């Protein structure tokens, strides 16, 4: 079996170094997700399957699969040819870095205003440490990292925080989930306890979609087979969607990306 490339060693990579790293590690460029899987998810979203809506409300605005594909080509960088039905699909690394730049600008604002920020992930195997490191840097800059209420449940699991990041737990295991229900449980509980809603949510999957649908400032990492967040960004519901493969072989491959993000935001890594 071929060995995956090691991450670059630069503490804070340049844009060009990061683009090259993203391609080498298949966080972007020729990613592992097959075209067939992408098109299947686009079709299911267009057909109204709410599992693929990530807690967002699209009505009948995206009922044409080709419209979904067009947005994914523009905002994620998948192949725009509808006749391309089989093989490996792509994520444009330049779009990944552009998304990181937009997120960095929003993190700078959060730090300057000492805002309340909530982090959450439905992809703990890949993105947990990305969120943890960002939360640690914002706390050091004076932000309040939102502590979720205790005793929350959703989707037959427990909603709790691990290293400042909200996750879904079942049977002592952190679960991969697309569901918006865990985020809804958090936001509802904050209201019930008369606590303010977050000023910013940084998340992925249904955690980001639910927050955006509730009208909160939200940013989300999203894979090329997860079109909902990109559609929400195109409509202005979600502020930022960052395209990437959200579960590469070694989560340490995301470290240079996080270093770039925090450097661009003027934050110190932790």
Q: Please list the pLDDT of the chain residue by residue as tens digits (270 residues).
A: 334 444 444 479 999 999 999 999 999 999 999 999 999 999 999 999 999 999 999 999 999 999 999 999 999 999 999 999 999 999 999 999 999 999 999 999 999 999 999 999 999 999 999 999 999 999 999 999 999 999 999 999 999 999 999 999 998 899 999 999 999 999 999 999 999 999 999 999 999 999 999 999 999 999 999 999 999 999 999 999 999 999 998 999 999 999 999 999 999 765
Q: Is residue 134 part of a domain?
A: yes
Q: Is residue 218 part of a domain?
A: yes
Q: How many CA atoms lie within 13 A of 79 on its CB side?
A: 18
* Full domain range(s) for residue 26: 20-270
Sorted by sequence, the CB contacts under 8 Å of residue 174 that are 6+ apart come out as: 124, 125, 128, 162, 167, 168
CA 170 to chain centre: 21
- Whichever domain contains 30, its CATH number is 3.40.50.10490
Read off the pTM.
Answer: 0.94
Q: Which stretches within the chain are classed as H helix?
A: 15-24, 35-46, 65-75, 93-113, 124-140, 181-192, 205-213, 228-235, 255-264
**Do residues 118 and 201 touch, judged by C-beta distance below 8 A?**
yes
Torsions phi, psi for 43 (to 5 deg): -65, -45
Cα 224 to Cα 75: distance, rounded to the nearest angstrom: 10
Q: Is residue 12 part of a domain?
A: no
Q: Is residue 209 part of a domain?
A: yes
Q: Is residue 223 part of a domain?
A: yes
Q: Is residue 7 part of a domain?
A: no
Tell me how many domains the chain contains: 1
Q: Is residue 204 part of a domain?
A: yes
Q: Is residue 155 part of a domain?
A: yes
């Amino acid at each position: 079996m071929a060995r995956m490339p090691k991450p670059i060693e630069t503490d804070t990579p340049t844009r060009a170094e990061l683009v090259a790293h993203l391609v080498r590690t298949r966080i972007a460029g020729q990613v592992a997700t097959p075209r067939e899987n992408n098109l299947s998810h686009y079709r299911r979203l267009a057909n109204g399957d709410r599992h693929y809506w990530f807690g967002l409300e699209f009505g009948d605005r995206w009922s044409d699969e080709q419209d979904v594909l067009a947005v994914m080509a523009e905002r994620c960088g998948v192949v725009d040819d509808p006749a391309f039905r089989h093989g490996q699909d792509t994520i444009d690394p330049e779009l990944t870095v552009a998304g990181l730049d937009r997120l960095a600008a929003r993190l700078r604002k959060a730090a300057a205003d000492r805002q309340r920020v909530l982090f959450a992930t439905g992809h703990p195997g890949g993105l947990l440490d990305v969120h943890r490191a960002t939360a640690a840097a914002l706390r050091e800059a004076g932000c309040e990292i939102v502590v979720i209420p205790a005793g929350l449940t959703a989707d037959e699991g427990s909603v709790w925080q691990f290293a400042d990041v909200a996750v879904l737990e079942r049977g002592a295991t952190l679960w991969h989930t697309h569901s918006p229900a865990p985020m809804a449980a958090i936001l509802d509980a904050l209201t019930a306890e008369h606590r303010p809603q977050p000023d910013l949510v940084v998340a992925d999957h249904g955690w980001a979609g639910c927050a955006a649908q509730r009208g909160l400032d939200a940013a989300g990492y999203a894979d090329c087979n997860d079109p909902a967040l990109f559609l929400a960004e195109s409509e202005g519901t979600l502020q930022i969607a960052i395209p990437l493969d959200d579960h590469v072989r070694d989560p340490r491959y995301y470290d240079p990306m996080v270093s770039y993000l925090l450097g661009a935001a003027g934050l110190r890594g932790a």
